[in-house]
């Protein structure tokens, strides 16, 4: 069936999650971060994801903001930057102001101009997602922002993916689901979506039962994949 609906993961897919550490590293007072910000950003993101998986499989759901703070605290300790409350707070503040990747606004406008439905489906809590959408200025090219908080479990639980056909009244194979997380794209493939993995870092394919239909280096060609 033709694609009618394009769904995007948020963090790492539309929004640059490394931007908070990168920006803070260039600000006065955070000189210790200058050499360590890439390592901190990587640790922060990995632990943030790992904690969502552990909470999902142990039925110990928490707001994504709590998970984000826990991941940062681990990353700060791992990089020997813990104990600086000012740095911690600055990094958390910047996470609410993440910018979209450069190609995102034009790509979303092309989808909307082509008559497709667009939305975010994210582990993020509604306030976090609202902050990121507003900061990036992409609210007008999104039909909806769907959060796991409405089902109380993190991706890749199928109840999260269920939110898309329930909201848009579409068949699973009408959905192009786009994520920067290989495991997320794989889970969505197993669910029945057409999937695209945005592999900006050139990482190996995850060894899982399902694979994404498409592997991209950025989001530029999404309109073409959607049939426009």
Q: Known catalytic residues?
A: 9
- In sequence order, what E strands does the chain have? 5-8, 117-122, 144-147, 175-179, 194-198, 214-216
In terms of Cα–Cα distance, which of 3, 4, 10 is closest to 120? Answer: 10
Angle 224-207-36 from CA coordinates, rounded to 5°: 85
| Cβ proximity of 73 and 53 under 8 Å | no
Longest dimension (CA), the chain: 55
- Residues 35 and 155: their CA atoms lie apart, in Å, by 33
In terms of Cα–Cα distance, which of 195, 160, 159, 156 is closest to 174? Answer: 195
Q: Decide: helix, strand or coil at residue 178.
A: strand
Q: Decide: helix, strand or coil at residue 224.
A: helix
CA 167, 154, 69, 79 torsion: positive or negative? Answer: negative
């Amino acid at each position: 069936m033709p694609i009618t609906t394009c769904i995007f993961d948020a963090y790492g897919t539309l929004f640059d999650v490394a931007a908070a550490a990168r920006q803070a590293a260039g600000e006065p007072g955070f000189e210790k971060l200058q050499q360590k910000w890439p390592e901190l950003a990587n640790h922060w993101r990995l632990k943030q994801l790992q904690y969502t998986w552990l909470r999902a499989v142990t039925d110990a759901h928490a707001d994504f903001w709590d998970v984000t703070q826990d991941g940062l605290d681990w990353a700060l300790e791992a990089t020997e930057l813990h104990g600086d409350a000012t740095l911690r707070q600055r990094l958390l503040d910047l996470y609410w102001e993440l910018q979209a990747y450069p190609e995102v606004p034009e790509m979303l406008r092309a989808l909307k101009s082509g008559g497709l439905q667009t939305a975010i489906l994210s582990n993020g809590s509604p306030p976090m997602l609202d902050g990121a959408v507003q900061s990036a200025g992409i609210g007008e090219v999104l039909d909806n922002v769907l959060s796991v908080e409405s089902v109380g479990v993190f991706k890749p639980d199928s109840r999260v993916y269920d939110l898309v056909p329930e909201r848009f009244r579409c068949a699973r194979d009408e959905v192009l689901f786009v994520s920067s997380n290989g495991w997320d794209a794989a889970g969505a493939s197993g669910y029945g979506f057409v999937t695209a993995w945005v592999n900006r870092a050139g990482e190996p394919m995850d060894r899982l039962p399902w694979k994404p239909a498409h592997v991209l280096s950025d989001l530029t060609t999404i309109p073409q994949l959607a049939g426009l």
